[in-house]
Chains A and B, each alone.
Chain A
Amino acid sequence: MSTKVTRTWTVNGEKKVVEVLPLRRLLDVLREDFGIKGTKEGCGEGECGACTILLDGQPVCSCLIGAGQILDGSEIMTVEGLEKTEGGRILQEAYMEKGAAQCGICIPGMLISSYALLNSVSDPDEALIRKSHAGNLCRCTGYEKIVEAIQLAAERWPTGISNIKHRTLIRHR
């Protein structure tokens, strides 16, 4: 039997303390323990990207990470945290203007991937946009309007607004 561990993180700018089984999925901690339900589950096995969140600036699938793997002091950002950042608001506006959200279920994860991308490369070309979002499945839009929204957000992206602790890594798949 595994025993619970205590973790202290910053989630969307707020300090959160949780006592949790180490293998409990971060997705469940967010949705069930914290009641932060913007992050969605589409597959539970790292394929759809609906559960994408930022962990210390890196986009990761929260369905694949055990809470115990996340160190004290880590910073987590979900779709609900976007509004508190300038870049996040720019992205939300652009997604709305371009009609990028249809059913909307993929959008929380998609937006997080966009945010991570623009924070590390603020003027990505289309190929990079597509590559960095290839892990986010959308069944409604055919992706065109999402790409257009990211391009629009990139145009409006001010310099030097990165909130990301460790600038990294665009996910490649």
Chain B
Amino acid sequence: MAVVEKEDFRVVGKSIPRLDAGGKVRGLTEYADDVDIPDCWHGAIVRSPVAHGRLLGLTFDSSFDWNLVAVVTSEDIPGKNIVDMMGQDMPFLAHDEIQYRGEPVALIAARTKALAKKSLAHVKVDVEEHPATLTMQDVVARFEKDPASLHLQWKQDIRKGNVTDALASADMVVEGEYWCGHQEQMYIEPQGMIAIPEKDGSIFILGSMQCPYYINPELCVTLDLPPEKIRVKQTAVGGAFGGKEDFPTLLGGYCALLAMKCGHPVKIIYDRHQDILYSTKRHPAWTRHVTGLNRDGTIAAMKIDFLLDGGAYTTLSPVVLFRGILHAAMGYECENVTINGRVFRTNTFPNGAFRGFGAPQSLWALESHVDVLAERCGMTPHDFRLKNCLRKGGVTPTGQVLKESVGSPAVLETALDKAGFAEKLTRCSAGDPSQDRWYGIGLSFFAHGAGFTGDGEARIKAKVALDLDYFEDGAPGINVRASSTEMGQGTMTILPQTAAEGLSISIDRVRYPYPDTQVVPDSGPTVASRTAMVVGATVYGAGEKMKAQLEKFASEALFDGQTVKLSDGRFESSSAGNSRAFEEVASLYLKQNGPLRVYNQFDLPPTIKWNQETFEGDAYPSYSWGCNIAEVEIDVLTLEIHVTKVTACYDIGRVLNPLLAKGQLEGGLVQCLGYAIMEKIQIQDGIPDANRMQTYVIPTMLDTPEFDLCFVEYPYDHAWPGAKGLGEIPMDGLAPAIANAIKRAAGVRITDIPITPEKLFEALKESGSIRGTEAS
């Protein structure tokens, strides 16, 4: 296997312990609720009691002393009562139509949390109730019968070749439908935001967020303030996973509206119950595959319908849809592909970003279906994938030719080999009634687009800066300035690593402070697995620029104009014996010139061509690749499913920090394990039935499998040092790998996650293979 040789890096590629760990193990790191805000009031939200209807008015009970609190309704909004996201259909506070249960209709702030909460009981929301569409099941039923009766939020198709003809001429047509439900991010730190009104009429917003530069422009529209009057700063974030991408704009906006009204700082820290009920979740999805398959195991045509439940408003759903359809048939050779993507409204809380952003949903379907295809043409799941997988030079459904940095089939071959897959496949129980414990092994293979879709990165052009200045210890150091946030994934460590590498100095003098829009340029949002690749490369480039400037300075000031190189923390000229430490030169620079700021910005190679209308061309600058192999055991009496071992191989380009990368993989895989077999939400009366940690169960330390993880590195040269995405790909493949393993253990395929013992029981009953029950 031709793996690209590792360059001789000094800081990148090393397992440097996290730079932010010290505060975290000492309990000193300040999360939103830990920040001391003098004179801070507490906000509470008055919500709609129905899922769909018309707001008739609010009745404020006269037995309550309303002078004690500040109240904001839609009429108090200084700017536009609109959340400036896609669709432009979501009001900040409902004023006429109600589109989901729990929709905010008014805000209240009070001196204490208890008083704010108490006041809520004294407001009556008068509504006229209308019939509501509440679930994905509703949506799909109506989609099949009468799609025009649904509210379409967005549509996007992908077309390649001629699917109709190819389906007609294929040896067989294989159909399958796959469902997946809501998933709650369940970061352990609930949502929390704070707004502080400043004397000059500006607003300072801080809190638990992923994207400081989302909040600023969006709230300018609502608060009717110019950008320079809204300052946004991230506090430490106790987990986000996409859940703090779009929602903090709303919560921050509520705090800001209240703060402007009452003149005090206002904070809203959700409790867990509120957080589950009233914040974004992963979109439920339904996928239908209709595949033209030839007996020789080639895929002639793929026709795919991909439907998302968008919730009540459009928000980010179109982008989630894009990523969903771009991964719906990704990874396999096929000349004829049609993908129809649709997002429909339901009257539930708007669904939003969650690690993977549509890809886990469409890959769940694809990788379940590929196993079915293999079976239908009598091939093993691995041989079928090895035969059909895209390789270097292959062409994706959007017509993108994979020219470089392609970790396929390397990830597949490596993982198969490590797990001993072929041999273990022969040992699967297949529902053998004589066994007490069924064993099964399953596989998935997938790619994940790194960075924004198409030419998105070229449009936003991530900007970063490096500041050379004195640190508190009096010695010079470098602060990396970008809007990318640390939320547990390691930004605060890997960005200093790339800066130090670019400069060729030790990481000891490089730091990454929490982003504050007053100080940092806009490196874009912390989403889409783009931080390591795009921002990492931009910071590396800034390091190189600063290095060149300091070398020039050193040459003139200390080396009589000789050529000087900064290498490994020392400035050296060609004449032997003359060498100065970075600290010495940097101090001299600071003394003579004051602080040095160096900017850099990201650009895509001009070869990237993308048509956003037709969805043709280079859908992503590059792809990460992965293969997951799950082994399961099922207790035949209780049908409890134990995932005993996960073997996984990934190509995420250059691994910037193996220690952190593995930790992120393990965490993501466990989150996906929850998605596959544990985490379940049903909508009841318009809101999630599982609305506490007691009922929405996530994996504990007792639920995790043995891991065998490895990397193959195919760096992306256009974003040197060559990282691709890592954040989302761990969420992509484990659910179908587990479902495929369960199929081989129990003999039945479950096409609806989470796969609970109850679902397995029903499926076994239906297939007639439950011990002691009659075959039907």
Contact = CB atoms under 8 A, between A and B. Distances in A.
B686 interface: no
A147 B704 CA distance: 11
A48 B693 contact: yes
Most-contacted residue by chain A among B29, B31, B237 (CB, 10 A):
B29
B188 A106 contact: yes
Interface residues of A, number: 52
Contact of B488 (A83, A96, A104, A108): A104
Contacts of A82: 25-27
Interface residues of B, number: 58
A101 B704 contact: no
Interface string B642-684: 0000000000000000011011111111110000000000000
B619 to A, nearest CB: 29
B667 A134 contact: no
B22 A139 contact: no
B27 A96 contact: no
A97 interface: yes
A104 B24 contact: yes
B621 interface: no
A139 B186 contact: yes
A104 B698 CA distance: 18
A93 B520 CA distance: 32
Contact of A142 (B33, B34, B660, B667): B667
Given A95-B25, A104-B236, A139 B241 contact: yes
Nearest to A107: B24
A103 to B, nearest CB: 3
A43 B669 CA distance: 23
A47 interface: yes
Contact of B704 (A103, A131, A144): A144
B271 interface: yes
Contacts of A39: 27
B189 A102 contact: no
A138 B27 contact: no
A99 B701 contact: no
B487 A134 contact: no
Contacts of B168: none
A110 B129 CA distance: 46
Interface in A60-92: 78-80, 82-83, 91-92
A45 B190 CA distance: 14
Contacts of B570: none
A35 B23 CA distance: 17
Contacts of A108: 27
A141 interface: yes
Given A43-B693, A45-B693, A133-B701, A96 B18 contact: yes
B502 interface: no
Contacts of B660: 99
Interface of B: 15, 17-18, 20-31, 33-34, 36, 185-190, 236-241, 271-272, 487-490, 659-660, 662-671, 692-694, 698-702, 704, 707
16 contacts: A40-B31, A43-B692, A44-B272, A47-B694, A48-B188, A82-B26, A96-B17, A99-B21, A103-B239, A103-B487, A104-B25, A104-B236, A105-B239, A130-B702, A142-B669, A144-B662
Interface of A: 35, 37-45, 47-48, 50, 78-80, 82-83, 91-92, 95-99, 101-108, 111, 129-131, 133-147
